[in-house]
Amino acid sequence: MTSVTAGRWEYAVLIADDDPAMRETLREVVAGAGFATLMASCGEEALDVVGQNAVHLALFDMHMPGLTGLETLQLVRQTHAVMPAILVTADPSRNLMIEAQKASVYCILPKPVRKDMVLFSVTRAIQRHYGADLTGD
């Protein structure tokens, strides 16, 4: 795969979490590293954001009212089949890991999140999926 040099700001990351404090924490980490961010407070809102914007990666909270992170991802994949996604959860059970693997989730991040792991996972997923060289940013 050919490596493409691009600025992190060229990649938009959707952050979907019903907890405003967690959403803001994730936004600070992702935007602080130079990525564009889009926000959603639930799965339904995340679907609207994906439908109206170019989204390169999604961070989904697993347990939100209405649609779960996995349910939201499954609906997103109907129109954006290969968009990488990361699940964030306080309950990383074996069953969830199996379901996430079936849904081709890039990774699962346990809560409380570590900022360095969020940034590493987001950057690595974008590099792998888009062949982007983000090391120089």
The pLDDT score that the predictor gives to residue 92 is 86
Q: Which domain covers residue 29, as residue numbers? A: 4-133
Q: How does residue 136 score in pLDDT terms, banded at 50, 70 and 90?
A: low
Q: What's the 3-state SS for 15-84? A: EECCCHHHHHHHHHHHHHCCCEEEEECCHHHHHHHHHHCCCCEEEEECCCCCCCHHHHHHHHCCCCCCCC
With a cut of 90, say whether residue 86 has pLDDT above it. Answer: yes
With a cut of 80, say whether residue 79 has pLDDT above it. Answer: yes
With a cut of 90, say whether residue 88 has pLDDT above it. Answer: yes
Whole-number average pLDDT of the chain: 91
CA 56, 69, 66, 91 torsion: positive or negative? negative
CATH number at residue 22: 3.40.50.2300
With a cut of 60, say whether residue 6 has pLDDT above it. Answer: no
| pTM > 0.85 | yes
Kindly state the average pLDDT of the residues 79-107. 93
Q: Which long-range contacts (CB under 8 A, 24 or more apart) does 51-54 make?
A: 51/79, 53/12, 53/14, 54/12
The pLDDT score that the predictor gives to residue 53 is 96
The count of structural domains within the chain is: 1
With a cut of 70, say whether residue 73 has pLDDT above it. Answer: yes
